[in-house]
A and B are shown apart, each in its own frame.
Chain A
Amino acid sequence: MNRNPYSRYYVPGPSPWPFFVAISANGMAVGLILWLHRTPSFLLMGMSLVCMLLSTFSWWRDLIREGDIGFHTRFVIKSFRDCVALFILSEVMFFFTFFWTFFHNALSPSCELGMRWPPPGIRTPNPSSTSLFETGLLISSGLFVTQAHKSMRLKDYDVGPFIGLVVTIVCGTVFFLVQLREYYWNSYTIADSVYGSVFYLLTGFHGMHVVVGTIWLMVSLVRLWRGEFSSQRHFGFEACIWYWHFVDVVWVALWCLVYVWFGGW
């Protein structure tokens, strides 16, 4: 790695992490197939998972170190903003697929569903009970994470950002637990017609994103505690806030469509 005062971007030296991430992704893919075909290999899955976690952890550690040393010029940070925005665009398109599936079935339910949505026999969740609480959790978490960001921008490194972040993380965790409880008590399964399929696919993938977002918020909390952010330079924190807003916007859309508009209540 060489530093040149006239260059805007830096080129990191050789890094083993991308190679190992790719190899372990392959291992996890093969492990998944073996598991689906009833010949699970916990050794392969476990080793791949550990390799994946260690590699990504080390990769991000390297990135944070490079930022600490000062490689992240304002040009690099600007490119990171575009990168995260494009990543979130790809995630939006991923959910677009599942919302398309939802609309395809909900707007013109087939004869097998009695041409009704939700199909007869499905006892749909009440949009004003658990799911309303979940919506409230995510919307308020969005407010708290904004408060954390604002306090950070106002050079409050002691109390404000901590309170905001901790409350957001608690909201995310409670959301996850409440959703598990909702899954447990739901009267229908993923195999109960395409309604069950779409419902669990949408809420399940959203729930996975909540988990990832919560972990990212926790990482930001640790970095905040270690004093790695300042009022001007905290893009890691900001990216995690963007991601969190993406997660709660998807939930609000999901709640409005799946639970309220097409909820059949």
Chain B
Amino acid sequence: MMKMLKKEEMGGYGEVESWWRRWLWSTNHKDIGTLYLYSGVWGGLFGASLSLMIRMQLGHPGAVFLKSDWFYNVVVTTHALMMIFFAVMPILIEAFGNWLIPLLVGGKDMIYPRMNNLSYWLSPNALYLLMLSFSTDKGVGAGWTIYPPLSVYPYHSGPSMDVLIVSLHLAGLSSLVGAINFASTNKNMPVLEMKGERAELYVLSISVTAVLLIISIPVLGGGITMILFDRNFNTTFFDPAGGGDPVLFQHLFWFFGHPEVYILILPAFGVMSKVIMHCSGKEAVFGLIGMVYAMIGIGGLGCMVWAHHMFTVGLNVDTRGYFSTATMVIAVPTGVKVFSWLATMAGSKFKMKPAAYWSTGFLFLFTVGGLTGVLLSSASMDVSLHDTYYVVAHFHYVLSMGAVFGVFCGLNHWLPNFVGVCFNKKWSKAHFMAMFFGVNTTFFPQHFLGLSGMPRRYMDYADIYAHWHWVSSYGSAVSFGSLMYFKFLLWEALVSQRGVVFSGGLCGEMDWAGTRDLYPGSKHVYSQLPFVWTNPYNTCITYIYKKSRNQ
């Protein structure tokens, strides 16, 4: 029988509190982070099921599985929206950010706990609306980019597009509220020694993400509002009949959409910095200041390259020249980051924990995706590769193997901190191997398909593409199987109850040291400002546990 803990030994969890006050009315960053994790995992599993449907359809030529090409388009659209807005963003930004930011900046909680809860509760409501749009009428088959004229009245006359638009409004509002909260927390809450350039790279990655969200989300909101008006209120913003221009929507959408891809990947960069530093046993990531400005540079440049998604809509040559060049420039700060991570690993006794497998996998595969990105950034090249599977392969390498590897890396690294139990190490490594094989088998052949002209967003294809499509679908089945295996690992960790004895990190890692060897940490870890000491070069932060002054 378990030893009954006294109330003060339970870190605030022993207080008798009704479930709705704890989960529905929550003002606790850990509980809200947990809620985000649950929703995000649900969204991720749903999105993964949709992707399996896509791959099952594409495994053989002909409409053999989904039968209806409209429904295929609906599945593709919902897969994208689900993965972006309801899986990667909730887990990577909101769940990890909520759990870790207060621990890393030495704060008691997020700075606006109630806004934090608003940010959370808007997201399942948006998810409900997305599911409503998926199941109302015939669903939205316009792709996640919802370009007009496909998204306006003659082609999507039912309510599902309108429902999708308000769903995106709520999801955007949720992200915006969360972003303001994160930005303000990261700016104001850190102890003096950890402000500005001395901030932890993870904290900084969330700050840059938050600023990108605040700048770009309202532009998406404005753009989809204009689609709503074009559909319902007789305006002609995107209708040439009244002098409007559908290309304008593409500009507005990608002015949001391109920062959005950095919003998805920057928190994964932050996770990598933490995990690689941890596994290298170093006090800091190599080239700290370079990393800081590389991240800010990526964020800034990310707002100025949107039209590289539109190289084939008839932009003039000068414009395409500018956007090609600006896009290629992003490879520089990204390279700074990748090489700094490699330099961090160099010369250390690198602990090959499961999280380290994911982080090295990330480094390799994100770089592959980044290199195909440089190829696509060239407008003359992109004209022939636009809307082919080459693009699909590119963005799945950076997202499915960048952002999602970041998710798994973070879960392997921090779930013991969040939940207090450890995964089976050997099986987690096996999971990585299975996933690594699965996603590469899925997406690497898509480069070949794209280069030989297979277009995106079609449910059927010429027989000549059948072989690589079959290989790709086989890989997709493997990665889905490994996802199920991960669920088993999660269950195994929870039933086996292997407690965390020692984080294995240095004392400067406030996410581990701050909880004073109690995992999960108490409800509000720092009841007052923690004592933090930095070395003369500001490369290392040491958290010192002292008895509180008022105890």
A255 to B529, CA, bound (A): 50
The answer to whether A22 and B25 have CB atoms under 8 Å apart is: no
Q: Nearest Cβ in chain B — how far from A94, in angstroms?
A: 4
Query: Of A30, A33, A101, which one neighbours B237 at CB under 8 angstroms?
Result: A101
Interface flags for B107-124 (1: CB within 8 Å of A; 0: not) read 111011111011011100
Interface flags for A19-35 (1: CB within 8 Å of B; 0: not) read 10111011001101100
A254 to B237, CA, bound (A): 18
The answer to whether A197 and B244 have CB atoms under 8 Å apart is: yes
Query: B240 on the interface (CB 8 Å rule)?
Result: yes
Q: How many chain B residues touch A (Cβ–Cβ < 8 Å)?
A: 75
Of A107-115, A150-158, A244-252, the stretch lying at the interface with chain B is A107-115
Query: A180 on the interface (CB 8 Å rule)?
Result: no
What are the residues of chain A within 8 A of B279 when measuring CB–CB? none
What are the residues of chain B within 8 A of A113 when measuring CB–CB? 243
What are the residues of chain B within 8 A of A26 when measuring CB–CB? 125, 128-129, 170
CB-contacts of B307-339 with A (<8 A): none
Of chain B, the residue at the smallest CB distance from A15 is B114
The answer to whether B22 and A29 have CB atoms under 8 Å apart is: no
The answer to whether B109 and A89 have CB atoms under 8 Å apart is: no
Query: B472 on the interface (CB 8 Å rule)?
Result: no
A11 to B129, CA, bound (A): 31
Query: A7 on the interface (CB 8 Å rule)?
Result: yes
Query: Of A4, A8, A100, A110, which one neighbours B252 at CB under 8 angstroms?
Result: A100
What are the residues of chain A within 8 A of B222 when measuring CB–CB? 94, 96-98, 101
Given the interface contacts A11-B524, A190-B233, A197-B244, does A36 sit within 8 Å of B180 by beta carbon?
no
Of chain A, the residue at the smallest CB distance from B169 is A29
Query: A86 on the interface (CB 8 Å rule)?
Result: yes
What are the residues of chain B within 8 A of A82 when measuring CB–CB? 183-184, 187-188
What are the residues of chain A within 8 A of B187 when measuring CB–CB? 79, 82
Query: Of B113, B226, B243, which one neighbours A201 at CB under 8 angstroms?
Result: B226
The answer to whether A6 and B114 have CB atoms under 8 Å apart is: no
Given the interface contacts A7-B529, A15-B25, A23-B125, does A105 sit within 8 Å of B188 by beta carbon?
no
The answer to whether A33 and B163 have CB atoms under 8 Å apart is: yes
What are the residues of chain B within 8 A of A36 when measuring CB–CB? 159, 162, 232
CB-contacts of A1-59 with B (<8 A): 4-9, 11-19, 21-23, 25-26, 29-30, 32-33, 36-37, 59
Interface flags for B202-239 (1: CB within 8 Å of A; 0: not) read 00000000000011111101110010010011111100
Q: Nearest Cβ in chain A — how far from B199, in angstroms?
A: 15
The answer to whether B248 and A101 have CB atoms under 8 Å apart is: yes
Q: Nearest Cβ in chain B — how far from A29, in angstroms?
A: 4
Of chain A, the residue at the smallest CB distance from B523 is A11
Query: B21 on the interface (CB 8 Å rule)?
Result: yes
What are the residues of chain B within 8 A of A16 when measuring CB–CB? 24-25
Of chain A, the residue at the smallest CB distance from B549 is A6
A101 to B166, CA, bound (A): 21
The answer to whether B117 and A32 have CB atoms under 8 Å apart is: no
A18 to B110, CA, bound (A): 15
CB-contacts of A184-210 with B (<8 A): 190-198, 201
Query: A83 on the interface (CB 8 Å rule)?
Result: yes
The answer to whether A79 and B184 have CB atoms under 8 Å apart is: yes
A29 to B180, CA, bound (A): 23
CB-contacts of A44-94 with B (<8 A): 59, 75, 78-79, 82-83, 86-87, 89-91, 93-94
Q: Nearest Cβ in chain A — how far from B256, in angstroms?
A: 9
What are the residues of chain A within 8 A of B428 when measuring CB–CB? none
CB-contacts of A124-142 with B (<8 A): none
The answer to whether B121 and A112 have CB atoms under 8 Å apart is: no
What are the residues of chain A within 8 A of B135 when measuring CB–CB? none
A83 to B119, CA, bound (A): 14
Query: B282 on the interface (CB 8 Å rule)?
Result: no
The answer to whether A21 and B118 have CB atoms under 8 Å apart is: yes
Number of A-B contacts defined by CB within 8 Å: 201
A228 to B50, CA, bound (A): 55
What are the residues of chain B within 8 A of A123 when measuring CB–CB? none
Query: A119 on the interface (CB 8 Å rule)?
Result: yes
Given the interface contacts A36-B232, A78-B188, does A4 sit within 8 Å of B128 by beta carbon?
no
A17 to B26, CA, bound (A): 10
Q: How many chain A residues touch B (Cβ–Cβ < 8 Å)?
A: 61
Query: Of B107, B114, B550, which one neighbours A17 at CB under 8 angstroms?
Result: B114
A91 to B173, CA, bound (A): 12
Q: Nearest Cβ in chain A — how far from B9, in angstroms?
A: 18
Given the interface contacts A90-B218, A104-B248, does A13 sit within 8 Å of B129 by beta carbon?
no
The answer to whether B234 and A190 have CB atoms under 8 Å apart is: yes
Query: Of B112, B132, B189, B215, which one neighbours A93 at CB under 8 angstroms?
Result: B215
A192 to B169, CA, bound (A): 27
Of chain B, the residue at the smallest CB distance from A59 is B114
A83 to B177, CA, bound (A): 10
Of chain A, the residue at the smallest CB distance from B527 is A4
The answer to whether B114 and A12 have CB atoms under 8 Å apart is: yes
Given the interface contacts A4-B527, A4-B550, A33-B162, does A112 sit within 8 Å of B242 by beta carbon?
yes
Given the interface contacts A12-B113, A193-B243, does A90 sit within 8 Å of B217 by beta carbon?
yes
What are the residues of chain B within 8 A of A18 when measuring CB–CB? 25, 114-115, 117-118, 120-121
CB-contacts of B23-81 with A (<8 A): 24-28
Q: Nearest Cβ in chain B — how far from A41, in angstroms?
A: 13
The answer to whether B236 and A193 have CB atoms under 8 Å apart is: yes
Interface flags for B472-509 (1: CB within 8 Å of A; 0: not) read 00000000000000000000000000000000000000
A197 to B222, CA, bound (A): 13
Of chain A, the residue at the smallest CB distance from B160 is A33
A94 to B176, CA, bound (A): 12
Query: Of B112, B237, B527, which one neighbours A197 at CB under 8 angstroms?
Result: B237
What are the residues of chain A within 8 A of B452 when measuring CB–CB? none
The answer to whether A13 and B27 have CB atoms under 8 Å apart is: yes
A16 to B118, CA, bound (A): 10
Indicate the member of A19, A32, A75 with the most B CB atoms within 10 Å.
Answer: A19
The answer to whether A197 and B229 have CB atoms under 8 Å apart is: yes
Given the interface contacts A11-B27, A75-B188, A197-B237, does A19 sit within 8 Å of B121 by beta carbon?
yes
Q: Nearest Cβ in chain B — how far from A254, in angstroms?
A: 15
CB-contacts of B78-107 with A (<8 A): 107
Of chain A, the residue at the smallest CB distance from B529 is A6
Given the interface contacts A14-B22, A112-B243, does A197 sit within 8 Å of B162 by beta carbon?
no
Q: Nearest Cβ in chain B — how far from A49, in angstroms?
A: 15
What are the residues of chain B within 8 A of A83 when measuring CB–CB? 112, 180, 184
A171 to B385, CA, bound (A): 57
Q: Nearest Cβ in chain B — how far from A61, in angstroms?
A: 13
The answer to whether B244 and A194 have CB atoms under 8 Å apart is: yes
A190 to B248, CA, bound (A): 18
A70 to B550, CA, bound (A): 20
The answer to whether B235 and A191 have CB atoms under 8 Å apart is: yes
In the complex, the 3 A-B pairs of residues with the closest C-beta atoms, listed nearest first: A97-B222, A22-B121, A18-B118
Q: List 7 A-B contacts (CB under 8 A).
A: A36-B162, A83-B180, A93-B215, A93-B219, A97-B222, A104-B245, A198-B237
Given contacts A6-B550, A25-B170, A194-B237, 9 further A-B contacts (CB under 8 A): A9-B189, A12-B114, A32-B166, A75-B188, A79-B112, A86-B214, A110-B244, A190-B234, A195-B243
